[in-house]
Amino acid sequence: MRPIYEGNSAVLQSPTGTGKSLCILLPMLTRLLERMQQRPRAGLRMLMLVPSPVLQLQMAGWTCELLGERLAKMVRVLRRDVYFGTADLAPITIATPRQVLDYIEDEKESKDWRQVLGHLDMLVFDEADRTFDPWTRRQRFVRGVLGEAKEPGQILLETIAAESERTRRREPVQIVAASATINRKTERSLRFCANQDFLLIRAAGQPIETTTGAAVDDGGQYGDGTSALPPGLVHTLRVPIEDKPFHANYQGVLSLTARTIYELESHRTLVIVCNSQKVGKCPASVYPRSRVESWLRSRMLEAGGYAVEGVQSVVEASAANWRFGGGGVSEYKQVIVGDKREMRGLHIENIDAVVLVGCPESCGEYIHAAGRTSRYHFGSPKHRGGSVVTICPDSVAHKIFSWAKLAGFKVVEEPADERHPRFDATWPEGDKVPLPAQDDPGAYQGVSSDDELEALGPEGAPGYGDEPEGTDPYGPDDSLAATGAFG
């Protein structure tokens, strides 16, 4: 942290869950407060760029907690659905590159925003390889054909460098970029666009051990015999055995997902939907995050004792309370659902297991998804144990085995052709929503269409009309207290 506190521009590379964000925020916030006392001025002083709106909220919560309640008003989250003039900017603003670029490209706001960026003191790229260099090779080719050869983060950094040079400031803006999977290409792009040198600060990962227990000198993700993932993490692979291809086997895949969650018996499970735009893999049109969340919520009713939530609601609750984590102790087992873009860089306390559904596109994407569990926690100097289960087609399973050799972790394939007696024997066939039967509240019947659901009518619902006059037919308000205990 000392080189960052001294004002050096740096690239920080460290395994997932080791506290990169804190190592950036602590020295930079300390230095910013000192500079604000020495050179007071209004307006934007520190711009933090992240890849997703969900990570914006979490970074805002962490920053407010570190600054304290008195200085929390210095933090502002930029949003695309709310107008922000330059006069509305706080000293610390958290945004995505596209949000800032929208204002720079606006004819009315461009001049003011360029002037503000020219006097910027500090710039942070969290999850730099995703924030600064997010496009795949194919996306870069398509954008080049359309005349958009540069990514938003690169355009923004070049704009800041040009405006800083135009204002003839005495010292350049301090730029700090961090990621667990930052590569040489991203580092070169940062150096070229910012026109300045960067220190490489890297924390080595865990040593890779052979079957005999001896450490190796080379290999691993960084070529130095270390792994970016903790050794206590258990990696499991489950391939659905079905006649249909993966993209057409929606019910079978999510049935296997629900069984996996139940069999893990974890108090807090994170489900990451690795969907993409590729045909035949795990298309986003078939596996959108909202649909997967709704499906799991209805299916986990059968298991009992589970509460299914979206990742944004969990992060919003933790950010509003200005505390780390986002969940407390509850009698319910919590299942948090999000897609791979929302989960990038998030820290959620007490995640015991991660279930990946779909097709991770790269080794780095798998590492970031798996790194949501077995993280360092407050008061503990060691990693906690955790499990990562990947439910994917056979074509992706071969890639994961090759990634395991590259990144230095072991994968065990578990058979997925056996039907679980608790679930598959009682769940109805077809993609149906289970509802309580009228004669037996403990049984379930399948309703597969709006017509069938409407045919039940409100009078046909179990228990309807039996309540005393003046009471809520849906139960007292405190019946929701347990589900709200997660944050």
Boundaries of domain holding 98: 2-203
- Tell whether 170 and 22 lie within a shared domain: yes
The answer to the question of residue 428 being in a domain is: no
- DSSP secondary structure string, 354-379? EEEEE---SHHHHHHHHTTSS---TT
- Confidence at residue 206, expressed as pLDDT on a 0 to 100 scale: 61
> What CATH number is given to the structural domain containing 82?
3.40.50.300
Q: How many domains, the chain?
A: 2
- Tell whether 190 and 149 lie within a shared domain: yes
The answer to the question of residue 275 being in a domain is: yes
394, 413, 432 - which closes a domain: 413
Could you give the CA distance from residue 185 to residue 218 in angstroms, rounded to a whole number? 22
Task: Give tens-digit pLDDT for 139-191.
Answer: 666 656 566 667 788 888 889 989 988 888 778 899 999 988 887 878 888 88
pLDDT band at 405 (very low <50, low <70, confident <90, very high): confident
What does the chain come to in residues? Answer: 487
- DSSP secondary structure string, 382-396? SPPPEEEEEE--HHH
Rg of the chain over CA atoms, in angstroms?
Answer: 25
Could you give the CA distance from residue 62 to residue 23 in angstroms, rounded to a whole number? 12
For residue 187, give the 3-state DSSP assignment: helix
Distances (CA, A) of 133 to 129, 177, 336, 448: 5, 12, 28, 44
Angle between helices 152-166 and 184-194 (to 10 degrees): 30
- Tell whether 271 and 141 lie within a shared domain: no
The answer to the question of residue 472 being in a domain is: no
pLDDT band at 209 (very low <50, low <70, confident <90, very high): low
- The 3-class SS string of 3-64 reads HHHCCCCEEEECCCCCCHHHHHHHHHHHHHHHHHHHCCCCCCCEEEECCCHHHHHHHHHHHH
Could you give the CA distance from residue 376 to residue 180 in angstroms, rounded to a whole number? 15
Task: Give tens-digit pLDDT for 306-362.
Answer: 889 888 888 887 766 654 444 444 568 889 999 888 888 888 888 889 999 988 888
Give me the residue label for tokens 């072991």.
410
Per the CB < 8 A criterion, the answer to whether 191 and 223 are in contact is: no
- Tell whether 374 and 278 lie within a shared domain: yes
The answer to the question of residue 442 being in a domain is: no
Would strands 444-447 and 433-436 be described as parallel, antiparallel, or unpaired? antiparallel
Could you give the CA distance from residue 281 to residue 245 in angstroms, rounded to a whole number? 9
pTM value surpassing 0.85: no
- Tell whether 103 and 46 lie within a shared domain: yes
Other CB atoms closer than 10 Å to residue 37's CB: what's the count? 8
- Tell whether 251 and 168 lie within a shared domain: no
- Tell whether 275 and 137 lie within a shared domain: no
pLDDT above 70: residue 198: yes
